[in-house]
Structure 1
């Protein structure tokens, strides 16, 4: 069965600045390399889903600049339905400046550009796509008002909703959480939302309880090299990561989300299997530079799974 996924989210052009380490206040440093790549959390997740075989529709916005045209072409090249990607005149396409350290860790600075214009009105214009969807996914790189509208529509059509609350927010999101079936933050994002720092099993349980109390059915917290944590239907489980040497962690979390949902059943009955598949996808992603260029295909993930070792 092929999952039909609708993603409301961001579209960015990534500028990757290679540096030895982050500069100190007042310090000037040299970059060793500059790369340009297609990205944006929403777009990354859409590509990850499409490359793992999902029928993927995108709702978002780009400028009418050259970068907007490039991103439009990149999405089309990955088999993504872009009928609901608005092209906004006199607005730059979203930009992300990625400070990539020698050890593979990154820090990211974002200029929202056209992403800030993703609105409930755009969601309303895209109403028909929710009728055929199995899942609707969104993040926090586009306005929350649009996310609420998308999840409202999803609920009206009995569609499973998945929230990746990134970038991290410390603002209460109870209205959105009430409409969320699955939430998938990393440990930092979870702490910002819940106020609970994740340090051990007890803090993971407490964090999951926070989300469950607000109506979320399934809580997935990604933990980097430590794998991921699942709380669902009264049960908790850890899914280990896979052993690889990381080159660039850009898009690793987005790959996890998109790959997981490509395999997930709408009734959530195979969550652990889908998370394991997603862990393999992320392990492949961190071994290459950039966002779109690093996201693996279903064939690559299946081949990797035959020899991969979990931590």
Structure 2
């Protein structure tokens, strides 16, 4: 039985500009290459879940424009159920501009567009879809009021909720009370808890703080080093696979989507699911572009041999 994963999230057309290095303030640089692809944290996570074998649904909003139609078709190409994607008649589809340097580091500018127009009542209207899921995942590229509504509905139906608090933002404390698993990177975790992530003791302190805030389970992703986890059953650290990173865009999104495809709703297999998620994200960083480089289950399994 494959996991049923529903993602509430953002749909952006990503334009990537390749540069030798990041420009300084006031400096003009020429770009070496320009490419466009489907993206957005929500869309990337959904595609990662679907390609890793999960039965995936998407809740989101696009504009009545070519970019919106392109985003919906892109998700359908990966077998994702798009029936809960709404078209906004007045606001355009979200977009992102990614500066990517020769070292594989990126800087990203995001225009929220129709992603920012998702209303709590629109989420409540697809309660039946949320109720069918094993996991509901969301991020902060859509409004927090929609997240709170979705997670509240999910908890009513015993659906496990996963929050990726990215990009980092001031968070409605009510959201954390209906979050089963929070998955920040080290800087996002520090912003939410006020505790700098430097070593295992500080990670344990972050986990304790999240428990105080109402979230029992935590995964902190630490770039090329690996991931820390803490659940009711204990905590640990899963090292990352050493690879030559070409483009780190969507590495974190791949990690979360792939994780949700393998995780049991009670999180009892978190350590093995984390190894799978690390493997998937290590493949993503070796390819260019967000969505094009997200691996399939066959690729992840082949790399695991």
Aligned equivalent of 2:61: 61
Q: Distance in 2 between matches of 1:107 and 1:191?
A: 20
Aligned equivalent of 1:262: 261
Aligned equivalent of 1:211: 210
Equivalent position SS for 1:250: coil
Q: Distance in 2 between matches of 1:196 and 1:35?
A: 38
Equivalent position SS for 1:121: helix
Deviation of the 1:90 alpha carbon:
2.6
Residues matched between the structures, number: 305
Aligned equivalent of 1:41: 41
Deviations 1:54-103 (A, max 9, x none): 11110000111111111110011110000000011232110011111110
Shift in alpha-carbon separation, 1:172–1:86, aligned structure 2, 3 A = closer
Deviation of the 1:234 alpha carbon:
5.3
Aligned equivalent of 2:278: 279
Aligned equivalent of 1:225: 224
Residue 296 (structure 2) pairs with residue 297 (structure 1): yes
Q: Distance in 2 between matches of 1:12 and 1:3?
A: 25
Equivalent position SS for 1:86: strand
Deviation of the 1:155 alpha carbon:
0.6
Question: After the TM superposition, which residues 135-150 of structure 1 pair with which residues of structure 2 at under 5 Å, given as runs?
Answer: 135-150=135-150
Q: Distance in 2 between matches of 1:105 and 1:53?
A: 29
Q: Distance in 2 between matches of 1:225 and 1:4?
A: 29
Q: Distance in 2 between matches of 1:266 and 1:68?
A: 32
Deviation of the 1:131 alpha carbon:
2.0
Deviation of the 1:243 alpha carbon:
1.2
Q: Distance in 2 between matches of 1:145 and 1:211?
A: 20
Aligned equivalent of 1:240: 239
Aligned equivalent of 2:187: 188
Aligned equivalent of 2:74: 74
Question: After the TM superposition, which residues 77-116 of structure 1 pair with which residues of structure 2 at under 5 Å, given as runs?
Answer: 77-116=77-116
Aligned equivalent of 2:164: 164
Q: Distance in 2 between matches of 1:251 and 1:7?
A: 15
Equivalent position SS for 2:116: helix
Aligned equivalent of 1:309: none
User: Unaligned regions of 5+ residues in structure 2, if any?
Assistant: none
Q: Distance in 1 between matches of 2:60 and 2:232?
A: 33
Q: Distance in 1 between matches of 2:178 and 2:172?
A: 10
Equivalent position SS for 2:268: coil
Aligned equivalent of 2:10: 10
Equivalent position SS for 1:225: coil
Equivalent position SS for 1:6: strand
Aligned equivalent of 1:32: 32
**4+ runs of 1 displaced by more than 2 Å?**
none
Q: Distance in 1 between matches of 2:281 and 2:134?
A: 23
